[in-house]
Structure 1
Amino acid sequence: MAKSGAQKNTKNKAKHSKLMARKKNKFRQEKENRKAKLKELAAKMNAQKEN
């Protein structure tokens, strides 16, 4: 028989999904920022090497 009343675990699952998505986005953003910094640094070093 189906349980009557509020759904079980839906609030916790939604909250967990939201937090995990936030965490993944944070790591993705940090990775992109790191890559951009390294690219900028490499360009700067190449420019310095040419001079």
Structure 2
Amino acid sequence: MSKKGKAKNTVNKAKHSRLMKQKENKLRLEKQRTKERLKAIIKKANEAKAEENNDSTTDS
């Protein structure tokens, strides 16, 4: 005989998959933000280095 009532575990499975998707999205966003932050830091450092090189070459 088949089961009566609603299917077992469907609510838990749906909740689990939703939570896992949230977790994956959160990790993806954090990784992307970290990448962008590092790019900004590197760009700023390169600009400062280039500016320093320009100042030292013009002074001599």
**Corresponding residue for residue 30 of structure 1:** 30
The alignment yields a C-alpha RMSD, in angstroms, of 0.7
Distance 2:2 2:36 in 1: 53
Q: Which runs of 4+ in 1 moved over 6 A?
A: none
Give 1:2 shift: 2.1
Q: Counterpart of 1:48?
A: 48
Larger Rg: 2
Partner Cα distance (1:30, 1:45) in 2: 22
| AA matched with 2:14 | A
What are the ranges of 5 or more consecutive residues in structure 2 without an aligned counterpart?
52-60
In the aligned structure 2, how far is the partner of 1:18 from the partner of 1:44? 39
Q: Give 1:5 shift.
A: 1.1
TM-score normalised to structure 2 length: 0.81
- Unmatched 5+ residue regions in structure 1? none
Say how many residue pairs are matched.
51
